[in-house]
């Protein structure tokens, strides 16, 4: 009689090893009833040697049913394929994968060495050029008067240091100058004190030392004076017009220097620790392709943009020749001040697997093993490794995904081979509800719901019949409650099965 094929329909997605080892063992036992290959549970002492590779063979298995071991080659009783040998140096327990040099070449496996060095970490940000507010001068009226002549007539006009800006007539200066000249013409003792007082009055009227000396040297009235630019730059604000009356203290000109400019650049909040005041920076602008402007971080403004979660930095740049104009866009490259050595691997060697980060290490002799690592900063195609590797090791940078998949398959095989539960758990009675799919003399096929105690998802599987047999009132299509136990061999055996209708009526009584 041909063996009965077991159909397992896994409703919840998951790996076979995590879904119910008891159902899986039933399929294996049914498959072992066919074929002429003998199954073994332990490795034989007289291990065979593969003449092609010279390696010791532990056992043979079917890759599709990896938990079952065989002591000799042959055809798989489960699939239409030959059994595959498992060698003594396969190291399946620790996930190692052995790949021949020829296969490595076919897969395009390339490796790189773990090196120690300083990560050339850079941070780029976009910025805007602005005036250096510390290089600004204000020209105001020091006395009431009238602007008779204006030399600068529009805002943003360029000016040089010492360049005339306006000519102002100051009537208040006339009285102070006449008093000084009158005292100077007086003869006699005691006139020195009066002359000094008259001179001081001219200074208090708003005249500077140069203008006072001009009156002393010429002996003539000078009611007009010329305002000059204290620094070079551009007229940022113009508050004077020819012929207008000005009051003492009124702002006439605001001059912004262009020798240095500021660039305001915003960096991500997460990268704030990399940018410190005094760090050197390089700036580039589309208006001057190929030209690099060097500067430094002058300040980090204590304010976070709540929308973009960025921190604003103020960068001071030397502006020789006035190449940078306020309002320009600039690309800023920050250079961190603290460069410390670290273990580095090519970024392509790191496999991102959600919460884990894995690299495939070359264990030598064609063996490869996945290693969990803790990564740090990343820049220029290099990633910092904080934990998991050491300098000099080799890691796979091409073909690592295929190796990682094979390693995961081997690890799953190892977990499936281990006993699924302790004897205490196997002897425990488990309960559930199901729909009867088929009833036979020695087995009942049930589509049951989850079994939380065994971490089984909903599935369809066969159970051995109870020792008393299947009750006559159990038929195909019935909804039933059932109890079962797992034997030492992983087989699931029913201890009772009752239709839901009968169970409900019994409870009512």
Give span(s): CATH 2.40.420.20, the chain.
102-120+340-417
Looking at residue 405, its pLDDT comes to 65
Domain with CATH 2.40.50.100 in the chain: 136-256
pLDDT at residue 424, as a whole number? 47
Q: Which two tokens stand for residue 281?
A: 């920076």
Tally helices (H) and strands (E) across the chain.
8, 34
- Take residue 44 and report the two structure tokens written for it: 């034989």
CA 95: distance to chain centroid? 29
> Does the domain at residues 423-508 carry the CATH identifier 2.40.50.320?
yes
pLDDT of 67 reads 61
pTM, whole model, 2 decimals?
Answer: 0.50
Q: 102-120+340-417, what's its fold?
A: 2.40.420
Contact between residue 268 and residue 309 where contact means Cβ atoms under 8 Å apart:
yes
pLDDT of residue 44: 44
Strand partners, 434: 448, 480
Three-class secondary structure assignment of 187-239 = CCCCHHHHHHHHHHHHHHCCCCHHHHHHHHHHCCCCCEEEEECCCCEEEEEEC
pLDDT for position 369:
84
- C-alpha torsion angle, residues 189, 191, 194, 199 (rounded to 10): -150
CA distances from 379 to 125, 151, 354 (A): 15, 55, 21
Cβ-contact 347, 359 below 8 angstroms: no
* The predicted structure's pLDDT at residue 1: 35
For CATH 2.40.50.320, the residue range(s) in the chain are 423-508
Query: 136-256, which class in CATH?
Result: mainly beta
287 three-class SS: coil
Cα(69)–Cα(347) distance, integer angstroms: 40
Q: What is the DSSP letter of 154?
A: S
Secondary structure of 4-60 as H, E, C letters? CCCCCCCCCCCCHHHCCHHHHHHHHHHHCCCCCCCEECCCCCCCEECCCCCCEEEEE
Classify burial at 253, counting beta carbons within 10 Å of its beta carbon; exposed 0-12, middle 13-18, buried 19 or more.
Answer: buried
For the chain, 509 residues long, give each residue's pLDDT as a single digit of tens.
333 333 333 333 333 333 333 333 434 444 444 434 444 433 444 467 777 667 778 778 776 666 677 878 888 776 667 887 877 665 555 567 777 777 777 778 888 999 998 876 678 899 999 999 999 999 998 889 999 999 999 999 999 999 999 999 998 888 888 888 888 888 666 788 888 898 998 888 888 888 888 888 888 888 888 899 999 999 999 999 998 999 988 999 999 999 999 999 999 988 887 888 988 899 999 988 989 999 999 999 998 989 999 999 999 999 988 899 999 999 999 876 556 788 899 998 898 877 788 888 888 877 888 888 998 878 778 888 998 898 999 998 887 766 766 556 555 544 444 444 444 444 588 889 999 999 888 889 999 888 887 778 888 888 888 888 888 888 899 999 999 988 766 678 898 888 987 544 444 44
């Amino acid at each position: 009689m041909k063996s009965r094929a077991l159909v397992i329909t896994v409703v919840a997605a998951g790996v076979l090893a995590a879904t119910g080892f008891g159902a899986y063992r039933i399929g294996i036992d049914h498959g072992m009833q066919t074929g002429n290959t003998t199954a073994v549970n332990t490795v034989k002492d007289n291990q065979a040697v593969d003449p092609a590779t010279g390696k010791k063979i532990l056992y043979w298995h079917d890759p599709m049913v990896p938990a079952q071991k065989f002591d000799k080659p042959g055809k798989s009783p489960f699939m239409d394929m030959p059994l595959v040998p498992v060698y003594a140096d396969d190291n399946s327990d620790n996930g190692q994968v052995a790949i021949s040099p020829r296969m490595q070449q076919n897969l395009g496996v390339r490796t790189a060495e773990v090196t120690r060095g300083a990560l050339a970490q850079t941070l780029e940000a976009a910025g805007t050029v602005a005036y250096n507010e510390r290089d600004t001068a204000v020209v105001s009226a020091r006395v009431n008067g009238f602007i008779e002549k204006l030399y600068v007539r529009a805002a943003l006009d360029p000016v040089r240091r010492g360049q005339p800006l306006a000519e102002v007539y100051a009537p208040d200066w006339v009285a102070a100058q006449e008093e000084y000249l009158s005292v100077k013409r007086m003869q006699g003792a005691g006139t020195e004190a009066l002359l000094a007082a008259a001179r001081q009055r001219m200074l208090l009227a708003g005249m500077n030392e140069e203008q006072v000396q001009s009156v002393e040297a010429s002996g003539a009235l000078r009611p007009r004076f010329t305002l000059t630019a204290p620094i070079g730059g551009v007229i940022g604000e113009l508050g004077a017009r020819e012929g207008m009356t000005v009051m003492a203290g009124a702002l006439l000109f605001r001059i912004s220097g262009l020798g240095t400019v500021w660039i305001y650049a915003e960096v991500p909040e997460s990268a704030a620790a990399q940018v410190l005041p005094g760090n050197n920076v390089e700036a580039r602008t589309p208006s001057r392709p190929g030209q690099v402007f060097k500067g430094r971080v002058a300040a980090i403004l204590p304010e976070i943009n709540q929308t973009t979660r960025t921190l604003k930095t103020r960068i001071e740049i030397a502006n020789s020749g006035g190449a940078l104009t306020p309002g320009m866009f600039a690309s800023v490259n920050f250079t961190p001040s603290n460069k410390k050595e670290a273990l580095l691997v090519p970024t392509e060697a790191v496999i991102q697997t959600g919460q884990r980060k894995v690299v495939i290490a070359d264990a030598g002799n064609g063996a490869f093993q996945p290693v969990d690592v803790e990564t740090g900063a990343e820049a220029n195609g290099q990633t910092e490794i904080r934990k998991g590797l050491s300098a000099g090791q080799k890691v796979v940078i091409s073909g690592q995904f295929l190796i990682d998949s094979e390693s995961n398959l081997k690890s799953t095989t190892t977990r499936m081979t281990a006993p699924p539960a302790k004897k205490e758990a196997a002897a425990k009675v488990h309960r559930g509800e199901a729909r009867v799919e088929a009833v036979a003399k020695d087995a009942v096929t049930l589509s049951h719901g989850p079994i939380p105690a065994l971490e089984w998802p909903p599935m369809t599987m066969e159970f051995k019949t109870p020792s008393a047999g299947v009750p006559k009132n159990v038929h195909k299509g019935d909804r039933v409650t059932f109890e079962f136990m797992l034997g030492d061999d992983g087989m699931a055996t029913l201890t009772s099965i009752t239709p839901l209708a009968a169970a409900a009526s019994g409870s009512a009584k």
